[in-house]
């Protein structure tokens, strides 16, 4: 997918019609992915751009900081260059306001579509622990059954903690382990025992089974939604 630059609004040619063309082409591609229920990274990308545009609309100083400069005067004697903010030109601000007024509702419309798909996926998946969850559940396995597909996808997950300027955040990283056939012998409990035998570094892993009522794109939709649900579970009583 072609990404929309973080500074697409203020970089390059500041022309409302040109910027609208860029945005509509991007949103057309996003809608194609949403039509196939492919959510990520498209949904999070929309959230970022929507929040950025709202911030710019509400804070003209932020717009000023993102504008390019044009050379106003060159002093060859002192080897200095004086710049002038383009936003001092009312024409540019009128173009920016026009673009913002067009872009924000357009992005919001696609964001609403993506959110509705996310909620549909979330209501059609179930995640449950397999066996007893250990006190330390920051590392373990996800066993994913995607609709009526005939295999179980196994992922190793690990919770990471990172600091922002004001608080700590938790994220889940996953790595594909293997795929197993769905049959009577490959129960979730048996798979867990098999994984313990294969990976001696995790003798008592936290293990969760994810089952979806429908088939969803695995990496773009089902796995990201399952990871968010897992984080919610770990934050409400399944973690140490």
Bigger pLDDT: 81 or 120? 120
Residue corresponding to tokens 């984080």: 231
Percent of the chain surpassing pLDDT 90: 64
CB 8 within 8 A of CB 19: yes
Asked whether the predicted pLDDT for residue 22 surpasses 90, the reply is yes
Mean pLDDT of 201-218: 96
CB 39 within 8 A of CB 218: no
Percent of the chain surpassing pLDDT 70: 82
Question: Closest by alpha carbon to 226, among 116, 126, 112, 119?
Answer: 126
Structure token pair of residue 75? 């002093």
Mean pLDDT of 138-159: 96
Mean pLDDT of 10-38: 93
Residue 63: what pLDDT? 55
Residue 67: what pLDDT? 53
Pairing of strands 139-145, 206-212: parallel
Residue 7: what pLDDT? 87
Asked whether the predicted pLDDT for residue 186 surpasses 70, the reply is yes
Residue 79: what pLDDT? 47
Residue 41: what pLDDT? 93
Residue 56: what pLDDT? 85
**pLDDT for 26-54, tens place per residue?**
999 999 999 999 999 999 999 999 999 99
Residue 74: what pLDDT? 45
- Look over the chain and give the mean of its residue pLDDT values, rounded to a whole number: 86
CB 186 within 8 A of CB 119: no
Residue 73: what pLDDT? 46
Residue 141: what pLDDT? 98
**pLDDT for 158-180, tens place per residue?**
998 776 555 667 789 999 999 99
Identify whether 41 is preceded by a cis peptide bond (ω within 30 of 0): yes
Residue 167: what pLDDT? 60
Structure token pair of residue 47? 């959230």
Could you tell me which residues come within 8 angstroms of residue 223 by beta carbon, excluding any fewer than 6 positions away? Answer: 142, 144, 155, 174
Asked whether the predicted pLDDT for residue 108 surpasses 50, the reply is yes
Question: Closest by alpha carbon to 129, among 206, 21, 202?
Answer: 206
Residue 75: what pLDDT? 45
**3-state DSSP assignment of residue 102:** helix
Q: In what order do the strands lie in the sheet with 125-129?
A: 125-129, 206-212, 139-145, 151-163, 168-181
CA separation for the pair 1, 142 (Å, rounded): 27
Question: Closest by alpha carbon to 206, among 127, 125, 152, 147?
Answer: 127
Residue 234: what pLDDT? 86
CA separation for the pair 155, 18 (Å, rounded): 44
Sign of the alpha-carbon torsion through 127, 128, 129, 135? positive
């Amino acid at each position: 997918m072609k990404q929309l630059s973080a500074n697409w609004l203020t970089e390059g040619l500041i022309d409302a019609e040109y910027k609208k063309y860029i945005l509509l082409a991007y949103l057309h591609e996003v809608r194609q992915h949403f039509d196939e229920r492919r959510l990520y990274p498209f949904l999070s990308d929309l959230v970022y751009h929507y929040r950025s545009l709202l911030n710019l609309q509400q804070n003209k100083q932020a717009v000023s900081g993102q504008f390019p400069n044009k050379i106003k005067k060159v002093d060859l004697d002192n080897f200095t260059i004086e710049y002038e903010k383009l936003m001092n030109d009312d024409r540019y601000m009128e173009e920016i306001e026009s673009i913002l007024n067009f872009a924000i509702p357009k992005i919001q419309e696609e964001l609403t579509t993506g959110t509705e798909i996310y909620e549909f996926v979330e209501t059609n998946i179930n995640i449950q622990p397999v066996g007893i969850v250990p006190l330390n559940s920051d590392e373990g396995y996800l066993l994913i059954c995607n609709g009526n597909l005939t295999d179980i996808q196994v992922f190793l997950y690990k919770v990471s903690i990172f600091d922002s300027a004001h608080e700590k955040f938790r994220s889940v990283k996953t790595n594909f382990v293997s795929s197993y056939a769905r049959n009577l012998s490959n129960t979730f409990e048996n798979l867990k025992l098999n994984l313990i035998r294969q990976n001696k570094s995790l003798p008592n892993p936290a293990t969760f089974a994810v089952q979806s009522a429908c088939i969803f794109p695995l990496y773009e939709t089902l796995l990201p939604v399952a990871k968010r649900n897992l984080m919610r579970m770990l934050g409400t009583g399944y973690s140490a």
